Structure 1
């Protein structure tokens, strides 16, 4: 299974499979993203942190998806519902949403109105209506009237049959996909005040009567509205135009113009308002909340990055050295704003001649750039490189400090 997942990760990210495989092995061994990106370039083919993190995240998604796929197939097999066609649909689902849509009609259900209608023997009537043939609906429903089963008259029989059809519509994967797409394209995010004029909720006053397109709602407003809802000051809803949604569903399911089709139309209307609409709204809420959280985290991370990268010594011109034996020490000079002024490689630990060359290069840079502090990384050769800089005679005006590279 893991090899198949590796190939799918490579195809999704457009990366060579051998690089993905090597990265997955390193991740399984406990390597962190920064460690792999920096110290295992020869194994990963020079993949950077972004690519390594993308491999990790995509693999996690596929593992979760395949685990759920296996659980669904096991459940279907145990309940003797598994067929070749259904197995193919489950195996071909490429996202968790698509997989759950396939499984929904077969998921063990709590007791619903449709379940009760089936218990009352109304499923055959629902099938008659579903075909939308031009028949006398009342006459077709009459044989299903049975007070002992709780069906007192024709209207109750038809109502139960519509309940079955409403559930059928709500579980149809094509219908769910179309309505989900409608929510994404035309959904509107609305918030209303729950307790008008309550002073405690004054900070949410801007959202007491607010609506905007779901697709363009900024994360800070989304999170503010959900906070207001959690604190019981706001009611937040997401929905497209109801007539537009019903038009989509009617086009999918109502194929004739007769009394049977009218019953199907009524079932479609009930399905959207009672079952399908609320279900897709919950999905939309979860999706927009996740998107808003992710955006907020990214903003926080960027702000934190700027804070952590702020010069700890204040604004000074810095000469920074990344130590190395065989490959030399990489040195850069940064101005007071952190912009690169110069970069070079010097060999301070490769014999006296090269050390003298390094000394001349460094002293020249110090004088030309008016270097105010030297920072030496604490990696391999760090102590020796630090000692080299201290022996340059820079004086007390240019401190030499060792910094953590991790």
Structure 2
């Protein structure tokens, strides 16, 4: 374990002391949010993102070591496993390298090379390779007669190729260098399969395509692999400017692979090169091509998952509108517009359905009910889902507000995932007697109030802010997105007296069961008045309390510090700080003058540690602060309702719905997102679109191109 700590220390450029501390904290069951927030002295202030990477690498190295021990144990009874191979296994840095070394020893069935060896062709293969024998038909025939091998020269030479191919393609050094060679100098090509042009129209950019492997972006790799999976495209990799076996892979120890004592120079003979070229085409290139495509896929999946994670984080951390009374509207034509009015805490006040659009056109009746609901429940905002009939509903609502002089405003919001929530067990438990469509309207209204609190109830994969999310490993994606939600929830903090089970379950140290216990305790006892009271909840012991307490907020409770992010373990220190100024602890809250004095007195409290002391002062300065930005909304152009209404040169306002490696998608209110390509984000080079735009951001754009047939909108960003 000490070796692992040293390796992690080097990789993350931290002292081994910090590396040891972090491993110990993880082994003790501490969560990433807790360590990142309350154990900065032990980590040197490492961020939650770096701690996630540290944890993943630590787990990888632990699993790698276990696999090494397992393989070395299996090789004890393998006479062919030399000490040199075993040492290479001990020194292996990756799982791929380790499995390459072990591959020759884990055959599950007889290979063609094995069959050739059983026929006695191993000496012939070595003789031809070393130049002692030619591979002419007559020479091979003579060798077969001399050694009483009763097969034809043609079959014998096929066996020679199999023996040599296996020897070369089982060598871990050759495989490693071969992958490096293809990744560095390879050319990735694709072509459309015969008869698939019409079916694969969406892949037409790749019907005749090639690009250096090292330059292919992640999103293109996933597109190509999807085309391959759908049997539209044929993919291949070859070396640029070179044919046959690469000379960079001509290792001088190939003879040892054939159990020969003969030595060989770097300068291989013409015969040896000829056989290497046969091996390259016969077996090695296909194996390396498969390995490199797998590496590209893995890299692209990691990139796609990171894009999804970044977008999800931006969406969850979007500005909350706050505690307003909201009317949620889930628009539709034939099935009507579903309505749900909620109060400042998200509780359902009223609900209904109106049919203002075709085919019913009951507009007058709809306006009467809307007016009644808005006035009766003192609605401040109307949140309209951005699906079918959203613009028509928005137009209706804004005209009604103006005509009836209603004291509220209307806004279109993303309804991604609302239908998933409405049919989920969580929604059924919350509103067992309501129709699924009404539950959807409630979700739309609540996410306007607080996106984070509502979106945690939905499977992150259903929110739809990813790039090729359906092409990546589901378990890896789920883990990554779960981490994002956990980090966001703990960064914002949770009001324990208002939070749902879904929200509480993401708090550091709390399981779904304990979250349910907290809600049950609230329902039975009433308001929770202090963090200390949490210890009365079933399942919250010392370790659980340590991990969760700092992230749970109690407003207007018995202990004023409970509404801040100061951990209860630091309350004695805060009281000591207050005593130093002849104040009470609660008198430090929002007291800039006192906190400035304490900042100057930092050396007096050195035992707390610089990170901890600074964090405490920041929390006392703004005890109920929310790290999310201020709320802002886009004003869609009411004259632009459909794709056909768009014209090149128009300047419009929209909302960023998705950010990918190649640009950003923007909702303009026409039921089809437009794309700002990365080259159109600014008049300067942009490496990462997220440097300029985030999901939920309101942006001004100019329409560059409208392709109605392909439903594509090209945009240029203004003023970023």
TM-score (norm 1): 0.72
1:22 shift after superposition = 1.5
Work out whether residues 33 and 53 of structure 1, in 8 Å CA contact, stay in contact via their aligned partners in 2. Answer: yes
1:313 shift after superposition = 1.1
1:112 shift after superposition = 2.3
Q: Aligned equivalents of 2:171 and 2:561: distance in 1?
A: 65
Structure 2 residue runs without a partner (length 5+): 255-263, 323-410, 412-491, 494-550, 554-558, 567-576, 595-618, 625-720
Work out whether residues 26 and 36 of structure 1, in 8 Å CA contact, stay in contact via their aligned partners in 2. Answer: yes
Residue 311 of structure 1 corresponds to: 319
Deviations 1:171-192 (A, max 9, x none): 2233223321210111112111
Residues 1:164 and 2:163 aligned together: yes
1:262 shift after superposition = 4.8
The verdict on how the C-alpha distance between 1:132 and 1:356 changes in structure 2, with shifts beyond 3 A counting, is: closer
Q: Aligned equivalents of 2:20 and 2:318: distance in 1?
A: 37
Q: Aligned equivalents of 1:243 and 1:252: distance in 2?
A: 18
1:23 shift after superposition = 1.0
Residue 142 of structure 2 corresponds to: 142
Q: Aligned equivalents of 1:111 and 1:353: distance in 2?
A: 77
Work out whether residues 244 and 277 of structure 2, in 8 Å CA contact, stay in contact via their aligned partners in 1. Answer: no
Between 1:77-86 and 1:182-191, the stretch displaced more is 77-86
The verdict on how the C-alpha distance between 1:208 and 1:360 changes in structure 2, with shifts beyond 3 A counting, is: same
Work out whether residues 170 and 272 of structure 1, in 8 Å CA contact, stay in contact via their aligned partners in 2. Answer: no
Work out whether residues 196 and 232 of structure 2, in 8 Å CA contact, stay in contact via their aligned partners in 1. Answer: no
Secondary structure at 1:189's aligned position in 2?
Answer: strand
Secondary structure at 2:591's aligned position in 1?
Answer: helix
Where do 1:200-239 residues align within 5 Å?
A: 200-239=199-238
Residue 299 of structure 1 corresponds to: 307
Work out whether residues 561 and 586 of structure 2, in 8 Å CA contact, stay in contact via their aligned partners in 1. Answer: no
Work out whether residues 163 and 267 of structure 1, in 8 Å CA contact, stay in contact via their aligned partners in 2. Answer: no
Residues 1:123 and 2:117 aligned together: no
Work out whether residues 117 and 160 of structure 1, in 8 Å CA contact, stay in contact via their aligned partners in 2. Answer: yes
Work out whether residues 161 and 275 of structure 2, in 8 Å CA contact, stay in contact via their aligned partners in 1. Answer: yes
Secondary structure at 2:41's aligned position in 1?
Answer: helix
Residue 358 of structure 1 corresponds to: 591
Structure 1 residue runs without a partner (length 5+): 332-345, 362-380, 387-406
Secondary structure at 1:188's aligned position in 2?
Answer: strand
Work out whether residues 133 and 139 of structure 2, in 8 Å CA contact, stay in contact via their aligned partners in 1. Answer: no
The verdict on how the C-alpha distance between 1:156 and 1:330 changes in structure 2, with shifts beyond 3 A counting, is: closer
1:214 shift after superposition = 1.1
Residue 276 of structure 2 corresponds to: 268
Work out whether residues 128 and 135 of structure 2, in 8 Å CA contact, stay in contact via their aligned partners in 1. Answer: no
The verdict on how the C-alpha distance between 1:242 and 1:76 changes in structure 2, with shifts beyond 3 A counting, is: farther
Deviations 1:290-325 (A, max 9, x none): 11111122222222222222211189xxxx999897
Deviations 1:45-103 (A, max 9, x none): 33222332232122122122212212221221133334322221211222223323333
Work out whether residues 40 and 46 of structure 2, in 8 Å CA contact, stay in contact via their aligned partners in 1. Answer: yes
Work out whether residues 90 and 99 of structure 1, in 8 Å CA contact, stay in contact via their aligned partners in 2. Answer: yes
Where do 1:4-153 residues align within 5 Å?
A: 4-108=3-107, 110-133=109-132, 138-139=138-139, 142-145=142-145, 151-152=151-152
The verdict on how the C-alpha distance between 1:352 and 1:172 changes in structure 2, with shifts beyond 3 A counting, is: closer
Between 1:2-11 and 1:131-140, the stretch displaced more is 131-140
Deviations 1:259-315 (A, max 9, x none): x94543343122211221111111111111111111122222222222222211189
Work out whether residues 117 and 161 of structure 1, in 8 Å CA contact, stay in contact via their aligned partners in 2. Answer: yes
Secondary structure at 1:15's aligned position in 2?
Answer: coil
Q: Aligned equivalents of 1:352 and 1:95: distance in 2?
A: 53
Residues 1:243 and 2:242 aligned together: yes
Q: Aligned equivalents of 1:328 and 1:87: distance in 2?
A: 58
Work out whether residues 186 and 238 of structure 2, in 8 Å CA contact, stay in contact via their aligned partners in 1. Answer: yes
Work out whether residues 121 and 144 of structure 1, in 8 Å CA contact, stay in contact via their aligned partners in 2. Answer: no
Of residues 283, 288, 305, the one that matches 1:280 is 288
The verdict on how the C-alpha distance between 1:38 and 1:145 changes in structure 2, with shifts beyond 3 A counting, is: farther
Q: Aligned equivalents of 2:96 and 2:592: distance in 1?
A: 63
Between 1:48-57 and 1:239-248, the stretch displaced more is 239-248
Work out whether residues 125 and 141 of structure 1, in 8 Å CA contact, stay in contact via their aligned partners in 2. Answer: no
Work out whether residues 175 and 249 of structure 1, in 8 Å CA contact, stay in contact via their aligned partners in 2. Answer: no
The verdict on how the C-alpha distance between 1:161 and 1:355 changes in structure 2, with shifts beyond 3 A counting, is: closer
Work out whether residues 170 and 276 of structure 1, in 8 Å CA contact, stay in contact via their aligned partners in 2. Answer: yes
1:221 shift after superposition = 1.4
1:245 shift after superposition = 4.9
Q: Aligned equivalents of 1:304 and 1:106: distance in 2?
A: 45
TM-score (norm 2): 0.42
The verdict on how the C-alpha distance between 1:140 and 1:195 changes in structure 2, with shifts beyond 3 A counting, is: closer
Secondary structure at 1:64's aligned position in 2?
Answer: helix
Instruction: Report how many aligned residue pairs link the two structures.
Output: 342
1:145 shift after superposition = 4.3
